[in-house]
């Protein structure tokens, strides 16, 4: 008989938010025969936490394990609360570490972090970046399982010609620094380079509103689509030649993995787990955060050397084939056995 799981996380894509791991992974595990309850899809944060705690308590005698998406933002406290309830009722639980800024949580919330992490059956990290950071913090109950994609859903497109047609896919939040993407466009225009940028993603903290105001004031060649279903942005990606990831904090973003799978050369900040995902000048390009000029320099380099861009894109596709669900599912099966 397959294990009975409760999966705790933010299931909010129906509320005009991005699809998160709880929605993708729970579906994939369910297809493998696991019995899964999920929580929560409630928009209000306080009510969402109550729903998570309620479902944990209600199903306390029926569960084999609880999976808990664990982030570095306010959502960190969802994980803390649910984990405490699991310990009270002796339910095994597994935090899935997502937040690129979680190492700072270890420093800023040492007591809560220790209770959450050390009380777990194990802690799943999708990146070796967090594995290393947590080991330095004195934790050893760690398991590496990467974020997964279904590789067949990402048709590889080789770009014979590289133009400054830029794609940015992320939630509009300050930590992902969308304003840097706008600055990159302005600097390319200053260099008399024909450029266009498409920014795909939902609003998080009024960053989208601010970006739209700047673009309108300066009449920049930037379009905003809002949140798009996965299939739509994959289709739209065919019209773009370079993917830029401008974030200040990160772990192993699925959007970057997806861009690599699609054959779009990636230029990203070298923060958090990104250097563990991208090998500089082999599977993509890494630059320091908050430096538009270095992004511009690397974009110009790819424009002038399309063969280099094609080579990196091909290498990147091979790298992310390791993240195909048919590979990653065996790691989950082994863990949940």
pLDDT in tens, 160-180: 999 999 999 999 999 999 999
pLDDT at 1 over 90: no
Pairing of strands 123-125, 242-245: unpaired
Q: How far is CA 15 from the centre of its chain?
A: 18
Ramachandran assignment for 194, one of left (phi > 0), alpha (psi -120 to 50 degrees), beta (any other): beta
Q: Which of 142, 138, 79 is nearest to 112 (CA)?
A: 79
For residue 322, what pLDDT is reported?
95
- The four Cα atoms 272, 273, 279, 285 give a dihedral, to 10 degrees, of -50
Query: Is the pLDDT assigned to residue 233 strictly greater than 90?
Result: yes
On the question of a cis peptide bond just before residue 151, with omega within 30 degrees of 0, the verdict is no
Output helix, strand, coil percentages for the chain, rounded to the nearest 5: 50, 20, 35
Average pLDDT, integer, range 261-272: 97
| pLDDT > 70 fraction of the chain, expressed in percent and rounded | 99
Q: Are 227 and 17 in contact (CB under 8 A)?
A: yes
Check pLDDT > 70 for residue 241. Answer: yes
Q: In what order do the strands lie in the sheet with 123-125?
A: 35-39, 4-8, 65-70, 93-97, 123-125, 142-144
DSSP state of 17: -
The stretch 71-93 carries a mean pLDDT of 96
* Percent of the residues in the chain that have a pLDDT greater than 90, as a whole number: 92
Section 72-83 average pLDDT: 94
pLDDT at 16 over 70: no
Average pLDDT over residues 29-53: 96
In this predicted structure, what is the pLDDT of residue 18?
Answer: 73
What structural domains and CATH numbers belong to the chain?
Answer: 4-145 (3.40.50.2000), 151-322 (3.40.50.2000)
What's the rounded mean pLDDT across residues 44-70? 97
Mean pLDDT for 82-104 is: 95
**What pLDDT score does 15 carry?**
52
Helix, strand or coil for residue 187? helix
CA dihedral 238, 315, 297, 204 (to 10 degrees): 60
Q: Would the pLDDT of 95 be above 60? A: yes
How many other C-beta atoms lie within 10 A of the C-beta of residue 206? 11
Q: Look at residue 14 and tell me whether its pLDDT is greater than 80.
A: no
Q: Identify each DSSP E strand in the chain by its residue range.
A: 4-8, 35-39, 65-70, 93-97, 123-125, 142-144, 164-169, 195-200, 222-226, 242-245, 266-269, 285-287
- Chain segment 135-151, per-residue pLDDT in tens: 999 999 999 999 999 99
CB-based burial of residue 16 (10 Å sphere; 0-12 exposed, 13-18 middle, 19+ buried)?
exposed
* pLDDT, tens digit, 9 for 90 and up, residues 105-145: 999 999 999 999 999 999 999 999 999 999 999 999 999 99
Q: What is the DSSP letter of 152?
A: G
Task: Give residue 175's pLDDT.
Answer: 93
Residues 191-217, mean pLDDT to the nearest whole number: 97
Residue 73, pLDDT score: 86
């Amino acid at each position: 008989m397959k294990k009975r799981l409760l999966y705790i996380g933010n299931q909010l894509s129906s509320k005009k938010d991005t699809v998160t791991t709880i929605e993708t992974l729970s579906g994939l595990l369910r297809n493998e025969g696991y019995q899964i309850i999920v929580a929560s899809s409630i928009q209000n944060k306080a009510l969402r936490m109550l729903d998570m705690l309620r479902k944990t308590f209600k199903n306390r005698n029926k569960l084999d394990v609880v999976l808990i998406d664990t982030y570095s933002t306010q959502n960190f406290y969802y994980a803390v609360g649910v984990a405490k309830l699991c310990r009270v009722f002796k339910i095994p639980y597994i935090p899935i570490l997502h937040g690129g800024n979680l190492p700072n949580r270890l420093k800023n919330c040492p007591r809560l972090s220790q209770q959450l992490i050390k009380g777990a059956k194990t802690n799943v990290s999708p990146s070796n970046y967090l594995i290393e950071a947590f080991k330095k913090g004195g934790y050893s109950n760690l398991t590496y399982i990467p974020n997964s994609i279904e590789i067949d859903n990402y048709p590889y497109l080789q770009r014979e010609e590289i133009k400054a047609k830029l794609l940015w896919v992320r939630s509009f939040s300050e930590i992902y620094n969308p304003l840097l993407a706008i600055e990159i466009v302005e600097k390319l225009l200053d260099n008399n380079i024909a450029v266009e940028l498409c920014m795909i993603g939902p609003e998080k903290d009024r960053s989208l509103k601010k970006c739209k105001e700047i673009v309108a004031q300066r009449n920049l060649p930037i379009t905003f689509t809002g949140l798009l279903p996965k299939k739509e942005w994959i289709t739209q990606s065919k019209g773009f030649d370079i993917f830029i990831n401008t974030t200040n904090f990160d772990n192993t973003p699925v959007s970057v993995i997806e861009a690599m799978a699609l054959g779009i050369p990636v230029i990203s900040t070298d923060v958090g787990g990104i250097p563990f995902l991208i090998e500089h000048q082999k599977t993509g390009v890494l630059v320091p955060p908050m430096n538009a000029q270095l992004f511009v320099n690397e974009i110009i380099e790819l424009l002038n050397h399309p063969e280099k861009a094609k080579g990196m894109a091909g290498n990147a596709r091979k790298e992310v084939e390791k993240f195909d669900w048919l590979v990653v599912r065996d790691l989950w099966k082994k863990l949940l056995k």
